[in-house]
Every structure is written in structure tokens, then in C-alpha cells.
Structure 1
Amino acid sequence: MRKSEVASWFKSLQSSICEQLEAADGLAKFQEDIWERDGGGGGRTRVISNGNVIEKGGVNFSEVFGVTPANILEALKLEASNFFATGVSIVIHPISPMVPIIHMNVRYFEMDNGIWWFGGGIDLTPHYIDHGDAQYFHAALKDTCEKHHQEYYPRFKSWADDYFFIKHRNETRGIGGIFFDRLSEEGDLNFEDRFAFVKDVGSLFAPLYTHLMEKNKHKDYGEQEKKWQLLRRGRYVEFNLVLDKGTKFGLDTNGRTESILMSLPPQANWMYDYQPQTDSKEANTLAFLKKGVDWLELN
């Protein structure tokens, strides 16, 4: 009963977010691809491209089940049992370097032996950090978290700083957000409490990002800003292919490769040992790509 309830809500979330993104973009429409997984289950991949604001994006729903692969059991330190996993995963790459990249994932996992948990997160990756946007983004996350538990925002904000960190570059992927995993029954928090929190996080995505789209889509930019955007996209690719656990889980459970790698940008660049000019907009952005920044206190 739990898994069907969660999967049904995630499906409705996917549809709602797609409708709101289409309205905010004003041109592009999502294309749907229904797929099945050999080991059990499947999903709905919805991709959008070449819009007024969005260059490439995806809002994916999946519902997969079956025998838990041995490497997953080992990695998660679980006893052998069949699994069920469902979730919505989103990545949006805008055309303009003045509009940020955004990612969100909300997911549910359970096993036949009774183990269950929720996980997910939402983070923002601006090509150029706008302190006002960062404050707006984190304030919205904090408000949502505090509706459910006073410890959620500081705990999950710190978790995001640690998770969305490109270790080999010694920099965060962007300005972070919140990240959480293995939220199950704990103290007076039960399934209904955790699910209500995940619903609010999922429902926050569209109004939060469409606001940032509208605010930034008309800002001027030139060749230098596009060059920097492609370099920052390269960092995004490095994180997703080298460090992202969701990518690894999807591939390890024989998920659909095209849907899993939907998160990658349409174009990205790498330049050998690129160093931005001192006191440039690019250098100022790099200076804030670190853990522990209190975005709510910045002026």
C-alpha cells in the first residue's frame, strides 16, 4: 500500500512540474518516452529542449523492482531481499548563463523484509552567483524544512554541502541546497511525517525555479559568459559521472541509460588549467564555491 501511494503521488508531481515548466518557458513542450526495465518495472522519461529559456531538461519518473543486485546490497549493507524503488528526478540546463542550472530528486526505497526510507534533495548551480537569488533559494528551503522539523534545514544543508562537492576540484558544484537520505522511522517521526516532508520538497520545485527563470532570463550576456557557462557545465558532468550516487544506482540496477544520463548538458567544455582573471565575475563566483557558506546572512 505504501509503495503504490508514493508512486502515484510521484507520478502526479512529474505531471505538475512539467506543466509549470512549459508555461514558464513559453515555447518548448515535453516529449514523453515510456520504458520498461528487464528486471521489473519501468518509467516515464520526459525531456524538453530548445525552448525560450530551457536548452535541455528532463523530469523523469521511475518505478522499478526486483532482485536487489549483490553490489547494491554490499554498498548499502543490507540483507538479501527484493527491492522496490520509485522517484522523480529533474535536471534543467538553461540557454542563458545568467539562469542557473537546477536539480531535484525525491525518491522512496523499500524491501520485502520491511526496510524502507525516503531520500532526495534539491540544489542550485548558478554559472554566476547572485547573492539575492542564493538567499531567496535557501530561505524557501529553510521555510519548507522548518514546517516539519527545526533540525532539518541545518542538517540537510550541511549534508548537501558535503554531497554536492567535487572532491577532485575542491569546490562545491554550486550553492548547494538540501540533501537527505535514508529517512525512515525515527523517534516520533513516522512514515506519514517523512512522506509529508518529501511532498513539500517536491511541490516547492516548480514555483522556486520558474521564479528564477523569469527573474534572470532577460539579463544580457556575451561570448565570455557563454564560454564560462560551458566550463561550469563541464564541472557538472564531472560530478554526475564520477561522484553522483543516483547515477551509479541507476546503472547498477540496470536502469535505462538514456534516462539516467538525461542529466548531462547538451554541450560542455574543458580547458586545460583555466584560471579566471583576478576580481572578475568568474573569479568571484569561484570564491563562493565552498562548504559552509551561510547564504541567508550574505548581503
Structure 2
Amino acid sequence: MTKEQIADQFKSLQNTITQTLETTEGKAKFKEDIWNREGGGGGRSRIIANGNIIEKGGVNFSAVHGRLPEKIKSKLQIKCDDFFATGVSLIMHPENPHVPIVHMNVRYFELADGNYWFGGGIDLTPIYIDKKEAANFHQALKAVCDKYTPDLYPQYKKWADDYFFLSHRNETRGVGGIFFDHLNESEGLKKEEILNFVMEIGQLFAPLYAEIMTKNANNPYSNQEKDWQLHRRGRYVEFNLLQDKGTRFGIDTNGRAESILVSMPPEVKWTYQYKIESGSPEDETIKLLRKDINWIEYL
């Protein structure tokens, strides 16, 4: 399995995801922006905005190559200069506060010396947490993981809890999902098996999120609920700019800023000492933004 073949599979995945989201959205269409990276490679960004359900979203494909900056080599503890990286990353910011924010990415990284690894993750960020919805989301992820080994889901679920955690707020970003990185044959799976797993996670996204969109898109909401959504989006911005390694890698490798920062919401609020009423729906959500919750028990 060559890096070019892997990139082609990711490109096909982008097509499938955008087609499903457009059909579910029903109004807005993705606009495509093809770009080249100075230093090697490029990609295509697909952006959707002002739809019936999605206020702003992006599904990006990239396949870039070139020489690694010294600080990246030092961080990864590698000596090889030449790299190739490809993947699909997406973020959806819905209009309705009852439709969760969602993020997903799958990626492949290869060095000229033959070393390689896969990574990725998917997580759900509800504005108001619905325990049953969180349970269904995690059960779908677990079903894919269990096809390979029963150890994957608990390991990758914990990894997501730890990764999608705003340490400066002592909060998880949402209800989590799974996260994995540096997967290669040292994990006990062949390269093709790892790619199959990564692709299955990527292919799970569209039908899983389309169901959530359809279920919640027409729920009525108040000004207070919209205001809370804008403040929760602020937490999303804080994580992406302060903690997200993917954002940092893109910037450090001279990636395209417009594509990297498409993850930013269209509107956001920060209020100094935002007051949350005890016992309110907002308070109930805050209490659930913590690690190590067994969401599947709410099925």
C-alpha cells in the first residue's frame, strides 16, 4: 500500500462525506477551494455555510510533502528530513444549539526512511448534553473498534478523554469519542489492517452525524440557549488555538492558514465570569464535562 494509494482513499472519503452532508443539510452546498503548498503538495478545502442546519463547516483533504522544520523533528524525536502527510479533517458548527458540534480527522504520515504511522479521532461537542445521544455515538465507535480487538475502544476512548481536555478550564471539550496516533505495525496489526480501521472510522462519520443532524435540526431554541451555544463555541476556540497538536503541526509546517483555521466558529462569545444558574440545563451540562464517564451505560 503506497502513500499515493492511501491519499486516494482519503480523497474518496472526502467525496463521500461532503455528498452525505449536502443531502442531509438540504440547502447549502460545499464550495471547493483547491490550493498548493509552497514546499510541496497541496489539497482541496470544501466549505459550507449558512445552510438549514450547518452555519459553518469545512471538510479538508490534503497531501503535502517536503522537509520537516527542526522543531517538528525535535518534537517527534526523528532525524529524517523528508516527510509526506495526507488526511481528511472536518469540523461542523450547526446553527441550532441542539445539534452538537462535531470534529473528525484521519491522517497518515510517512518519512523518507520508511517509518510511518496513522492517526485520527472523532469527538462530539454538544451544547446541551443528551446522555442517550452520547451513548449511541460511543456505541457506534465501539462497534467499529471491537471488530479489530476489544482493547481498542477503552484505550482510544481514554486517549480522547485525555486529549480533548481543556486543562486550563478543567473541562472536557464535550462527550469525547476516540483518539489514536502513531499507529503502525508495532501495534500488532498489519499496515492494511490499520488503514482499514482508519477508513472505517472515517466512513462511520457521515451516516452517524447525519442521523444526529436530522433528529435535532428542527428543535426550537430560546435566546438563552443560543447565547450558551456562543459561549461554548468559545471553549472550542480555546482548545484549538491553545492545545490542539494538529493545528500546531499545520502552522509549523507552513500549512495553509485558511484551511487550518476553518475550524473556527462563525460567531463566538466570551463573557467575563459568565454566570450559570444552579440546577439549570447549562449547569447540568457543565457537570458532565469530565473524564472517564461510561457513556454507553446510558443506552
TM-score by length of 1: 0.99
1:36-66 alpha-carbon deviations (Å, 9 max, x no partner): 0001000000000000000000000000001
Instruction: Point out the more displaced range, 268-277 or 89-98.
Output: 268-277
Find the aligned partners of 1:46 and 1:187 in 2 and give their Cα distance.
33
Identity %: 58
Gaps of at least 5 residues in structure 1 are: none
| 1:89 equivalenced with 2:89 (yes/no) | yes
Structure 2 match to 1:251: 251
- 1:190, distance to aligned residue in structure 2 (A): 1.3
1:204-226 alpha-carbon deviations (Å, 9 max, x no partner): 00000000000111111010000
- 1:186, distance to aligned residue in structure 2 (A): 2.0
1:94-121 alpha-carbon deviations (Å, 9 max, x no partner): 0000000000000000000111000000
Find the aligned partners of 2:123 and 2:264 in 1 and give their Cα distance.
15
Gaps of at least 5 residues in structure 2 are: none
- 1:273, distance to aligned residue in structure 2 (A): 1.2
Structure 2 match to 1:184: 184
Query: 4+ residue runs of structure 1 moved beyond 4 angstroms?
Result: none
Structure 1 match to 2:109: 109
Contact 1:81 1:113 in 2 (8 A): no
Find the aligned partners of 2:124 and 2:231 in 1 and give their Cα distance.
16
Contact 1:156 1:180 in 2 (8 A): yes
CA RMSD across the alignment: 0.8
Q: 1:193-272 counterparts in 2 under 5 A?
A: 193-272=193-272
1:237-271 alpha-carbon deviations (Å, 9 max, x no partner): 00000000000000000000000000000000001
Question: Across the two proteins, how many residue pairs are aligned to each other?
Answer: 299
Letter in structure 2 aligned against 1:141: L
Contact 1:53 1:96 in 2 (8 A): yes
Contact 1:84 1:109 in 2 (8 A): yes
Q: 1:18-29 counterparts in 2 under 5 A?
A: 18-29=18-29
Instruction: Point out the more displaced range, 268-277 or 245-254.
Output: 268-277
Contact 1:103 1:124 in 2 (8 A): yes
Letter in structure 2 aligned against 1:58: G
Structure 2 match to 1:64: 64
Structure 2 match to 1:286: 286
Letter in structure 1 aligned against 2:158: S
Contact 1:228 1:282 in 2 (8 A): yes
TM-score by length of 2: 0.99
Contact 1:63 1:84 in 2 (8 A): yes
Find the aligned partners of 1:75 and 1:149 in 2 and give their Cα distance.
30
